[in-house]
Chain A
Amino acid sequence: KAGVTQTPRYLIKTRGQQVTLSCSPISGHRSVSWYQQTPGQGLQFLFEYFSETQRNKGNFPGRFSGRQFSNSRSEMNVSTLELGDSALYLCASSPRPGGTEAFFGQGTRLTVV
């Protein structure tokens, strides 16, 4: 069974641009969560999607958004990039919300210059 796939693995963007990151969950998993990892703040929850609906959202500005498609693949978008958005963005998939096991992808390393 294939794991969680995140694309691209690395990105370099300029301040003010926008970026879209993609996550394909494990086959059969319908819940996808996104996390931001930075040296200063650690791992922080961004949002969770299930059946194309956002079920939960972390404390991030509106520049951070996401969506989930009918095949459970998810994308997150960050608009008007700031230097502080440089981070490793991790996606986790679970069979269902409230599950006891989250499987993480390898992440997308975003660098904003």
Chain B
Amino acid sequence: AQSVTQLGSHVSVSEGALVLLRCNYSSSVPPYLFWYVQYPNQGLQLLLKYTTGATLVKGINGFEAEFKKSETSFHLTKPSAHMSDAAEYFCAVSDTDSGYSTLTFGKGTMLLVSP
């Protein structure tokens, strides 16, 4: 069974500061890993994904994440926060062997950006 743990339900940063959102996963097979963002009353938008290959993944809006197998982590970073980054972020894992599209999500981290 897969699981995802996001450390910190809320993270507060100042505009221009580094954003770091933490995600650890548990999977019995090599995982596919995803970060999604959700704005109020909206669906989920894919930020980036890791499937195979390069462990440093670049996504939209200046975000990137690094897959570290030894630490079972997939933390999301952005060098400089912008006010428009304020939203809820979800880390998700998908089982590569199942042939299904099922995503297992973390509980989410609300990113607060202050001026």
Query: A: which residues have CB within 8 A of B?
Result: 4, 6, 31, 33, 35, 42-43, 45, 48, 55-56, 58, 90, 92, 94, 97-107, 109
Interface residues on B, range: 20 to 34
- Cα of A97 to Cα of B94 in the assembled complex, Å: 11
Which residues of A are found within 8 Å of B94, using beta-carbon distances?
100
* Cβ–Cβ contact A4 & B100, under 8 A: no
- A-B pairs with beta carbons under 8 Å apart, 10 shown: A4-B43, A6-B43, A42-B107, A98-B101, A100-B32, A100-B94, A101-B49, A102-B101, A104-B44, A107-B43
- Cα of A55 to Cα of B104 in the assembled complex, Å: 16
Which residues of A are found within 8 Å of B49, using beta-carbon distances?
100-101
- Report the nearest B residue to A56, measured CB to CB: B100
* Cβ–Cβ contact B51 & A33, under 8 A: no
| In the assembled complex, B84 has its CB within 8 A of some CB on chain A | no
* Cβ–Cβ contact B102 & A48, under 8 A: yes
